[in-house]
Structure 1
Amino acid sequence: MWLRMFASVVIPTYNRRSILEKCLLALEQQILFSELDGYEVVVVDDGSTDGTPSWLRDEASRFPHVRVVEQEHGGPAEGRNRGVDNSRGDLIVFIDSDLVVTESFLACHARALQKSWQQRGDRLSFTYGAVINTANFEQPTTEPHKFQDNSWAYFATGNVAIDREVLERSGLFDTNFRLYGWEDLELGERLRQMGVELVKCPEAIGYHWHPALRLEQVPDLIRVERERAKMGLIFYRKHPTRRVRFIIQFTWLHRLLWELLTLGGLLNERSLRPLLGWLIRNGHQGLAMELLRLPLNRIGVRALFKEAALTGLR
């Protein structure tokens, strides 16, 4: 029997007011099919300093589906948990605040879940939509799908939908993940252990906007890699398996790989700077980012091993 659902879209945000506006306007345009009774959008502001909460209150008439929840800066794990606590839907949809979705986004998630639940005879499944990366701020939805947009993650909160009761039974997100990275994949490991099935839903499309690479961003990208290393070890301590080692790249194989590909560190963010600058000036920011990923991966893996050594983890 087909059941109608009410969806709660949970969006943590931090200083992303400009793209958040596009995100919320797209959500206001949703076309609901028979599977959905309605929906709400719960925006959790994570202590933004760009005036996001007051702007949302001032613009409330433009976003009738939106409710705003505020918290001190505590990270996306705490924000998503708070969003779930303040939501009323039996279907929880997680997206990021820099995602612009299509009109049928929610309906596609709901339809794919209904089909899966009917086939399984239970609700132990979640849908994972398509995420297309773009640097086109004015028209993000014109970006074509690229090979680099494919993801092999099990549970990534950029675009997923899951039954509320199943999510709550998993324990929600671990708020020890206060820095960047891994809180969603860690929850995914617990869902996997519960036997929750991943259902791909490529029709539920979201366009993930991020600014085109600039050389001024490099120090911040390095900081993010070091934060990911710290959070990666929290992930591994909770799930000390070979699978998680490979997910976070905490293996000697990964260490050897990135040392070889960067010629032992000769190819680094400093030595590559002239080439990166030339690529950026000539409109090849995507290629520049792919090239920069080589030293960034080396930095991240070296940080993992260094942090592990400091804490006595092997």
Structure 2
Amino acid sequence: MFFSVVIPTYNRKPILEKCLRAMEQQVLRSDTQIQGYEIVVVDDGSTDGTVEWLNAEQLAHVKLYGQDHKGAAGARNLGVEEAIGDTIIFIDSDLVVLDGFLQHHADALTEYYTTHGNDRVFTYGRVVNTCNFEQPTSEPFKVTDYSQAFFATGNVAIAKHWLTDAGLFDVQFTQYGWEDLELGVRLKNRGLKLVKCPEAVGYHWHPPFSLDDLPRLIDVEIQRARMGVVFYQKHPTLDVRMMIQMTWLHRGLWGLLSLGGLLNEHSLRPLLQWLINQGRPQLSLEVARIFLNWYNVNAVYRAYQEQQAR
């Protein structure tokens, strides 16, 4: 088993440094089934000195590739195409892992291969969200870190040939969201199973929430809505409608919770700032998700109506 760890990145140099140094410090057992590993970094047109830093550092396992700013789907595809490993691990460039990360993924994959006699599987490691830049791996697992996503590329390992067979990521997903879960639908249709591997934990760093983030977060929700409609065009099922929140249930829920949009970034601003001042930026963000989801669900319907009108 040879791992190719594919990491797309765009203007994340400070946390990318932590990500790559953690990947370079992997500890493998003396009887490991891992023959070796490479770290395939695909720079998606960064302008923050990422490429210059990588060229200067020359980290032992890192191979650097670059493309113009085309998005995560194209960057991951390039990484897979250039990878020499038989097994691909996807992580994000703001994820910091522990030193047993690769070994835990290998053990979980090997156990499934041996028990079931086939490799129709991918392992999904645990992702813990943190805003602690100095010590990201000190964050405990929280209820809000729990995910039911079938194929989320923040921390997964899969035999390379299944990605090729499924056709890789769809580059129609040029904006934020859904390209990994859409590929997951195609993998599920090929009979692949998800095996959770909580020991292969990664700590997903993001800056503490501030009110200055709100315009960007609202834009992200609108982008995610548009890409959700692309997802639904490819797979027009109830499951996908539920995932992208294109149901009257979601519209009613977020409409009720936001009082029809009356609770928004303006009316809730004092409360959000008070929570931040109390040292609760994560709770402030969770409160903001009330109106962020309201923006999202309305943008989904708007994008779908625009698509139908064409």
* TM-score between both structures, scaled by the size of structure 1: 0.97
Q: 1:123 — aligned with what?
A: 119
Q: What's the CA shift string for 1:180-223, capped at 9, x where partnerless?
A: 00000000000010000000000100000000001111000000
Q: 2:272 — aligned with what?
A: 276
Please report how far the alpha carbon of residue 48 of structure 1 lies from its aligned counterpart in structure 2 after TM superposition.
0.5
Please report how far the alpha carbon of residue 119 of structure 1 lies from its aligned counterpart in structure 2 after TM superposition.
1.3
Please report how far the alpha carbon of residue 55 of structure 1 lies from its aligned counterpart in structure 2 after TM superposition.
1.0
Secondary structure class of the residue paired with 2:109: helix
Please report how far the alpha carbon of residue 122 of structure 1 lies from its aligned counterpart in structure 2 after TM superposition.
0.9
2:35 to 29, 37, 51: 37
Q: 2:69 — aligned with what?
A: 73
1:14 to 10, 27, 39: 10
Superposed, which structure 2 residues align to 1:155-174 within 5 Å?
Answer: 155-174=151-170
CA contact (8 A) 1:180 1:227 kept: yes
Superposed, which structure 2 residues align to 1:141-220 within 5 Å?
Answer: 141-220=137-216
Q: 2:130 — aligned with what?
A: 134
Q: 2:44 — aligned with what?
A: 46
Aligned-residue sequence identity (percent) comes to 58
The CA distance in 2 between the partners of 1:29 and 1:310, in whole Å, is 49
The worse-fitting range, judged by mean Cα deviation, of 184-193 and 31-40 is 31-40
Please report how far the alpha carbon of residue 155 of structure 1 lies from its aligned counterpart in structure 2 after TM superposition.
0.2
Please report how far the alpha carbon of residue 27 of structure 1 lies from its aligned counterpart in structure 2 after TM superposition.
0.3
The AA in structure 1 aligned to 2:176 is Y
Please report how far the alpha carbon of residue 287 of structure 1 lies from its aligned counterpart in structure 2 after TM superposition.
0.6
The CA distance in 1 between the partners of 2:249 and 2:163, in whole Å, is 34
CA contact (8 A) 1:32 1:38 kept: no
The AA in structure 2 aligned to 1:38 is G
Please report how far the alpha carbon of residue 120 of structure 1 lies from its aligned counterpart in structure 2 after TM superposition.
1.4
Q: What's the CA shift string for 1:136-163, capped at 9, x where partnerless?
A: 0000000001111110000000000000
Q: 1:28 — aligned with what?
A: 24
- The 4+ residue runs of structure 1 with deviation greater than 6 A are none
1:56 to 54, 72, 85: 54
1:294 to 259, 265, 290: 290
Secondary structure class of the residue paired with 2:199: strand
The CA distance in 1 between the partners of 2:28 and 2:164, in whole Å, is 25
The CA distance in 2 between the partners of 1:167 and 1:84, in whole Å, is 8
The AA in structure 2 aligned to 1:49 is T
CA contact (8 A) 1:123 1:166 kept: no
Instruction: State the Cα RMSD in Å.
Output: 0.7
The CA distance in 2 between the partners of 1:21 and 1:219, in whole Å, is 28
The CA distance in 1 between the partners of 2:125 and 2:216, in whole Å, is 28
- Residue 112, structure 1, aligned to residue 104, structure 2: no
Secondary structure class of the residue paired with 2:35: strand
The AA in structure 1 aligned to 2:41 is V
* TM-score between both structures, scaled by the size of structure 2: 0.98
The CA distance in 1 between the partners of 2:71 and 2:47, in whole Å, is 14
Secondary structure class of the residue paired with 1:24: helix
Structure 2: segments with no counterpart, 5+ residues:
none
